[in-house]
Chain A
């Protein structure tokens, strides 16, 4: 979960390669990176930042399996116990006819479940305020930010300058 009211020192880059180099350098100097902002997903970023693998897909599998069971057992109950109707001379429990809906509910549960889980983890509920560090990171600039309470400001600034940042600013968000 994001914490706010932090004093940040950040650098703006115009190229993702420079950004990746800067991240690697910061990692090798054991500087604690507050966050990185990019306008698009950058290849190799997770590895450079040392992020662990997302566990969202495990949740996705569980939601999918839940959808499969809901659809299949639901239809089984409806068509054999609750309201048995003969369709086209087929038996009440017609497995092939259940498969398309089972598939659809699997996809639906997995997609919605993962979306809701992802938003919840990220704290992106409706009405959330999401202060931008620099609006240009939504267009064509890349930003690397350090928390000034966690790292030495001058060390951070010199790292940003050496790694080719276009601008170095401070901001409280």
Chain B
């Protein structure tokens, strides 16, 4: 068997396609059973688009961090991250779709996008030079295009190096230049993109921790997906050179960044709790009162479990525990993003619904205020306050798209860079 290029068995491709179809069915199901404003549909699309786009960003970010820091250990499987980063192409399409939706009023995701609110609400008016339709579209998509440019550049250089690399390391030096250039760009633009895409759902609220907090979420998910994908590819007979030493380091990253995420999660909470300023505490008040399971479950699944399981040395060197924790934190951070997006969008849709009497969100408004205020005993509102089966189905669809994109770009080039100057170090990696 040729182990340099991947040729996946047909059954695995069928499984991926089935997941994709599940995603499509879920999308149609949500769309058909939604209120007229399609809040549930659009929050789900936004949620998954942002989640997987930021995972792709974290992949190219981590390549650039490794190149800049002379971190050679991951060279042997770095092409996986190259593949992941090319999901940014779909990111451009998906975020473009949401941006077009803002202009045409397809959704009520963002309160600031409502012209009446933007003109009258003093807080939103004050932020209107940043939170406006044009900046959302051209700023957000501009960031994505820049990120994709670097992702493509790094991958092209690495692939070109396979055939045309020599002992002068011109490709490597060029990669170092682009990597170092990308880091500050990614640092600032990712924060601004997260403010635009996620934090502006609660336009009255802001937190200086927020961009870090959601980046850390996506970084942990990226590492978790890398571990799961590597274990899968190894089980199919590829990546013989990737051994427990590499998994140990990936496990350490998953552990360390779970703790880092917790630090940011808690800091954001504690500063707001201490300050006790009304417009800040409302964010947590909503989440603790109406989303208690997600709010506290978030901490258990993303901190307590990975921390206790991965604390020991040997659990980072076993497939079983790595798969378990990888799945846990992947789902956990997906849910984390769910509770960042849903409450604010739901609130916006109720607000807009109530002063656009008789319009789209009216039905939802009555339905969900009832659920929100009567949540003690009235149960949860599936799709709004907890993810329902269609939400999970749609996530699986997006996951299939993400994995499919990654494997597609992975199959276009040798699995391991052949002439990277750090390849030998990576092959002999020892923790």
Nearest CB to that of B431 among chain A residues? A43
Q: Is B430 an interface residue (CB 8 A)?
A: yes
* Bound CA span A57–B274, Å: 35
**A73-94 interface (Cβ within 8 A of B):** 88-89
For chain A, give the interface size range.
10 to 19
Provide the residues of chain B in CB contact with A100, threshold 8 Å. Answer: 270
Provide the residues of chain A in CB contact with B312, threshold 8 Å. Answer: 57
Provide the residues of chain A in CB contact with B266, threshold 8 Å. Answer: 96, 99
Task: Please name 13 pairs of A and B residues whose Cβ atoms are closer than 8 Å in the assembled complex, sorted by A.
Answer: A43-B430, A44-B430, A57-B313, A61-B311, A88-B276, A96-B266, A96-B269, A96-B270, A96-B273, A96-B274, A97-B270, A99-B266, A100-B270
* Bound CA span A97–B270, Å: 7
**B264-314 interface (Cβ within 8 A of A):** 266, 269-270, 273-274, 276, 311-313
Provide the residues of chain B in CB contact with A61, threshold 8 Å. Answer: 311
Please give 11 more A-B residue pairs, beta carbons under 8 A apart, in addition to A96-B273, A96-B274, A97-B274: A43-B430, A53-B313, A57-B312, A61-B311, A88-B274, A89-B276, A96-B266, A96-B270, A97-B270, A99-B270, A100-B270
Chain A residues near B (Cβ < 8 Å)? 43-44, 53, 57, 61, 88-89, 96-97, 99-100
Provide the residues of chain B in CB contact with A97, threshold 8 Å. Answer: 270, 274
Give the number of residues in B that approach A within 8 Å (Cβ atoms): 10
The secondary-structure label for the interface of chain A is: helix
**B214-273 interface (Cβ within 8 A of A):** 266, 269-270, 273
Closest 4 pairs between A and B when the two form their complex, measured CB to CB:
A96-B270, A43-B430, A96-B273, A99-B266
Provide the residues of chain B in CB contact with A53, threshold 8 Å. Answer: 313
Provide the residues of chain A in CB contact with B274, threshold 8 Å. Answer: 88, 96-97
Annotate B312-350 by CB proximity to A: 1 below 8 A, 0 otherwise: 110000000000000000000000000000000000000
Chain B residues near A (Cβ < 8 Å)? 266, 269-270, 273-274, 276, 311-313, 430
Provide the residues of chain B in CB contact with A44, threshold 8 Å. Answer: 430
Provide the residues of chain A in CB contact with B273, threshold 8 Å. Answer: 96
* Bound CA span A97–B372, Å: 29
Provide the residues of chain A in CB contact with B269, threshold 8 Å. Answer: 96
Name the distance in Å between A149's Cβ and chain B's nearest Cβ. 35
Name the distance in Å between A79's Cβ and chain B's nearest Cβ. 15
Provide the residues of chain B in CB contact with A96, threshold 8 Å. Answer: 266, 269-270, 273-274
Name the distance in Å between A20's Cβ and chain B's nearest Cβ. 12
* Bound CA span A88–B273, Å: 11
* Bound CA span A57–B315, Å: 14
* Bound CA span A89–B313, Å: 44
Name the distance in Å between B258's Cβ and chain A's nearest Cβ. 15
Nearest CB to that of B314 among chain A residues? A53
Of A53, A89, A96, A100, most B-chain CB atoms within 10 Å: A96
Provide the residues of chain B in CB contact with A43, threshold 8 Å. Answer: 430
Name the distance in Å between A142's Cβ and chain B's nearest Cβ. 18
Name the distance in Å between B386's Cβ and chain A's nearest Cβ. 25
* Bound CA span A99–B274, Å: 13
* Bound CA span A93–B430, Å: 47
* Bound CA span A89–B277, Å: 13
Nearest CB to that of B308 among chain A residues? A61
Name the distance in Å between A45's Cβ and chain B's nearest Cβ. 11
